[in-house]
Amino acid sequence: MCGIVGYIGWREALPILLQGLKRLEYRGYDSAGLALLNGSIISVIKQKGSVSGLEAATVTLPEEMRNATIGIGHTRWATHGEPSDQNAHPFLNASRDIALIHNGIVENFSSLKQELISQGYIFLSETDSEVLVHLIDRIWKSDSRLDLESATRNALRHVDGAYGICVISSREPDKIIIARKGSPLVIGIGTGEYFIASDAAPIVEHTNKVVYLSDGELAVVTRDGYTVKSIENIEQAKIVTELDYSLDKIEKGGFEHFMLKEIFEQPEVMKNVMRGRVNPEKGLIHLGGISEYLDRLKQAKHIVICACGTSWHAALIGKYLIEEFARIKVEVDYASEFRYRNPIVGVDDVVILISQSGETADTLAALHVAKEKGALVMGICNVVGSTIARETLCGMYTHAGPEIGVASTKAFTAQVVMLYMLALSLSKGRTISHDEIALHLRELSCLPEKASRILELDGQIKGIAERFRDANNALYLGRGYNFPVALEGALKLKEISYIHAEGYPAAEMKHGPIALIDKDMPVIFIATHDSTYAKILSNIEEVRSRKGRVIAIANVGDGEVSRLTEDVIFIPSSSAPLSPLLTVIPLQLLAYHSATLRGCNVDRPRNLAKSVTVE
Ligand code: F6R
């Protein structure tokens, strides 16, 4: 949450910062701002709203600021203080010679603010972030031996909470100071120029060489290089990583929205997750990232999977898969609950953290708790080099490519494919025969083609969305492997269309939610063929007899379901464990079309942002 960019080099900083902010807008779009530094002058321009609004406002900048070759920019997801011009970053000190941007939350801001106010500091915003710039100012002014770097370091020692910051000063005009604790920062390495960002998206068009800052590190970035030190001032050796994604992966590629592009990428994504890891003909699976630990994983008494949001729904499917195939007991916990409830995990247990971004604050904190308790910690992340990926003992990347749409789609299917392969790996030589594994893998390898066939139903699904676009509520029902899909379908609908939606295990309907059903309530059933199919048909009848409006996902050729409702989306059949990978796709499209028909901006749903780096 909140996007940070910085540039120092030989080119004009302004267009680089604006382009970078556009690439980071999925991290927040409440306000945008930037600070440019040229010689002894810092110019700040910031306002409520989008980066394109900010870009239009930059026409007023004087020529010498347009020529500036150092600058920092920020796109905000509001925590403390409403979205407004005043609360937009960057923040300046009173003498306007220090500018700062911040991602994270300063938890002790209130006491720091009171202290600074009592010393004469004047605050112009309601944010927690503004204390940082005044704190650096106070410390720097209090001791003439300090420089910007040491003043920033000393200031951060007073701060509780999370931060990713960039600081510039006209008193030391050839450097950017950056520091992180809990909020990601990456340095992109060019030739005579350096780029700073919250993630690699704004960097990829300039260079593929990056250095990831770790928690508790502070870096001084100049045109000639960078030095990274710990907050205790000890120099840190850093590894330069090569990014392996190209610009086309972070552009819309002819689609109206990133979300739609990412939904349509899913067949390819499924292939990418499997590539080099499975050989269906020979029945082989090799998960390189965990191979060293596979025996320990198989011996786990108990596996806990922690995640948030959509990744939590994937985790729930993972529980069904691992318990069914590998017969290991699995518990699924919201990372935000796990971290605070003194969970019972120990050295014989495995904790799996699932996160698309690899930066979600609660999931990262759950990882720390699990580590402290001695569990083997394993990650399933999409973003290469992300904090969770780096801090887990072992793990696997989902290789879904950058997910820019705020509503997660392809990351979910990639996670489920990964969990399917993990469950089979854990069963190998224990609970399932080699031939059975080969059979499952062959079925898995047919999934991308089946997913492509579902995407061809886009027009029909849009037609259904047109009929239901005015609904105020919706109920999603599924059983077994498709109960988590019902939860995911409901989450997708509510987060992008603002229609209130609930997911339930279908059998639970009669224990309460049935009271909600009337002629205005769309009820979306996942009614594919599995052991509970007959029960689902009865549930559909129960809804129909109360005049509810039924939409069903059923398997091609199912005459029973089409007898019960005309709104049926027919999808290819699969085994029950693989069905979530197919049933979720029509639900993603249904949510997408419902939202766009209602005029919602699906790539920027209100109040949301990607990569939730605050609690
Ligand atoms: C929903 C969505 C969120 C994320 C959640 C976890 O569409 O995107 O619910 O799934 O914030 O994010 P990651 O997977 O990055 O940890």
The per-residue pLDDT for range 348-378, each reduced to its tens digit, is 999 999 999 999 999 999 999 999 999 999 9
Cβ neighbours, 10 Å, residue 5: 30
Cα 443 from Cα 274, distance rounded (Å):
12
Q: Is the pLDDT of residue 464 over 80?
A: yes
Question: Measured from the CA of 309, which atom of ligand 1 is nearest?
Answer: 9
Indicate whether residue 427 lines ligand 1 (CB < 6 A): no
Give the CA-trace dihedral at 592, 270, 319, 304, to 10 degrees: -100
Tell me whether residue 615 is in a domain: no
Looking at the structure, tell me whether residues 182 and 297 fall in a common domain: no
pLDDT value for 612: 84
Q: What is the mean pLDDT of residues 518-544?
A: 94
Give me ligand 1 centre to Cα 26, in Å.
Answer: 12
Residue 80 and residue 155 share a domain:
yes
User: Do residues 226 and 83 both lie within one domain?
Assistant: yes
Which of residues 445, 470, 492 is at a domain's end? 445
Residue 310 Cβ inside 6 Å of ligand 1? The answer reads yes
Whether 563 and 546 share a structural domain: yes
Atom 11 in ligand 1: residue holding the nearest Cα: 309
The answer on 417 and 280 residing in a single domain is yes
At 243, is the pLDDT very low, low, confident or very high (cuts 50, 70, 90)?
confident
**Three-class SS state of 395:** strand
511 burial via Cβ count (<10 Å: 0-12, 13-18, 19+): exposed
Same domain, 174 and 41: yes
Residue 96 located in a structural domain: yes
36: pLDDT strictly greater than 80: yes
Task: Please give the distance, rounded to the nearest whole angstrom, from the Cα atom of residue 311 to the centre of ligand 1.
Answer: 6
Burial of 158: CB neighbours in 10 Å, binned 0-12, 13-18, 19+? middle
Q: Which of 399, 427, 408, 211 is nearest to 328 (CA)?
A: 427
Is the C-beta atom of 408 inside 6 A of ligand 1?
yes
Nearest CA residue ID for atom 3, ligand 1? 309
Ligand 1, atom 4: closest residue by C-alpha: 309
Residue 247 has pLDDT above 90, yes or no: no
- Regarding whether 119 and 177 lie in a shared domain, the answer is yes
495 Cβ inside 6 Å of ligand 1: yes
| CA 121 / ligand 1 centre spacing (Å) | 39
Mean pLDDT of 407-435: 97
Whole-number Å distance, alpha carbon 603 to ligand 1 midpoint, is 14
User: For residue 319, is it within any domain?
Assistant: yes
Q: For 208-236, how does the pLDDT look when each residue is reduced to its tens digit (9 = 90+)?
A: 999 999 999 999 999 999 999 999 999 99
Q: What pLDDT, on the 0 to 100 scale, is given for residue 110?
A: 95
Q: Residue 613: inside a domain, yes or no?
A: no
**pLDDT score recorded for residue 486:** 98
- Residue 550 and residue 428 share a domain: no
Residue 292 CB-density burial (10 A; 0-12 exposed, 13-18 middle, 19+ buried): exposed
Pocket test for ligand 1, best of 362, 381, 408 (most atoms within 8 A of CB): 408
Does residue 612 belong to any structural domain of this protein? no
Q: Does the structure show a pLDDT above 90 at 118?
A: yes
Do 254 and 238 share a structural domain? Answer: no
Q: Are 196 and 62 in a shared domain?
A: yes
309 close to ligand 1 (CB < 6 Angstrom):
yes
**Predicted TM-score of the model (pTM):** 0.90
State which ligand 1 atom lies nearest to the alpha carbon of 388: 16
More confident residue, 606 or 306: 306
For residue 301, tell me if it sits in a domain: yes
Q: Is the pLDDT of residue 245 over 80?
A: no
pLDDT at 249: 81
Quote the distance between the C-alpha of residue 464 and its chain's center. 29
Contacts of 479 (CB under 8 A, 6+ apart): 505, 506, 507, 526, 530, 532, 535, 536
356 lines ligand 1 (CB under 6 A): yes
Q: For the residues 314-323, what does the mean pLDDT come to?
A: 98
- Residue 610 located in a structural domain: no
Task: Please check whether residues 343 and 428 belong to one and the same domain.
Answer: yes
128 Cα distance to chain centroid: 23
150 C-alpha to center of ligand 1: Å?
36
Query: Ligand 1 centroid vs 310 CA: distance in angstroms?
Result: 5
Of all atoms in ligand 1, which is nearest to the CA of residue 492? 7
Compute the average pLDDT of residues 585-611: 93
CA of 408 to the centre of ligand 1 (A): 6
Counting ligand 1 atoms within 8 A of each CB, the residue from 310, 384, 495 with the most, and so the one to mutate, is 310
Ligand 1 centre distance from Cα of residue 587 (Å) = 17
Residues 539, 396 share a domain: no
- Residue 425 falls within a domain, yes or no? yes
pLDDT class of 251 with cuts at 50, 70, 90: confident
Q: Provide the pLDDT for residue 250.
A: 84
Catalytic residues: 2, 610
| Ligand 1 contact, 357 CB (< 6 A) | yes
Among 424, 445, 466, which residue terminates a domain? 445
Tell me, using a 6 A CB cutoff, whether residue 355 lines ligand 1.
yes
Q: How far is the CA of 337 from the centre of ligand 1 (A)?
A: 16
- pLDDT of the residue at 613: 79
**Domain-ending residue, one of 427, 445, 463:** 445
Domain count, the chain: 3
In the reported structure, the alpha carbon of residue 42 is separated from the centroid of ligand 1 by a whole-number distance in angstroms of: 37
Q: Is the CB of 382 under 6 A from ligand 1?
A: no
259 and 603 Cβ atoms separated by less than 8 Å: yes
Best substitution site from 259, 317, 334, 357 to test ligand 1's pocket, by max atoms within 8 Å of Cβ? Answer: 357
Would you state the pLDDT for residue 609? 83
* CA separation for the pair 153, 233 (Å, rounded): 8
Say which CATH number the domain at 38 has. Answer: 3.60.20.10
C-beta of 363 in contact with ligand 1 (< 6 A) = yes
Average pLDDT over residues 276-280: 95
Q: What is the mean pLDDT of residues 30-44?
A: 96
Q: What is the residue with the minimal CA distance to atom 16 of ligand 1?
A: 355
Confidence at 79, pLDDT banded by 50, 70, 90: confident
Lowest mean pLDDT among 73-82, 574-583, 589-598: 73-82
Q: What is the span of the domain harbouring residue 554?
A: 453-602
Tell me the percentage of the chain whose pLDDT exceeds 70. 100
User: What CATH number is attached to the domain comprising 306?
Assistant: 3.40.50.10490
Q: Give the C-alpha separation, 80 to 127, whole Å.
A: 5
| 386 Cβ closer than 6 Å to some ligand 1 atom | no
Ligand 1 pocket check for 308: Cβ under 6 Å: yes
Q: Is 336 in the pocket of ligand 1 (CB under 6 A)?
A: no
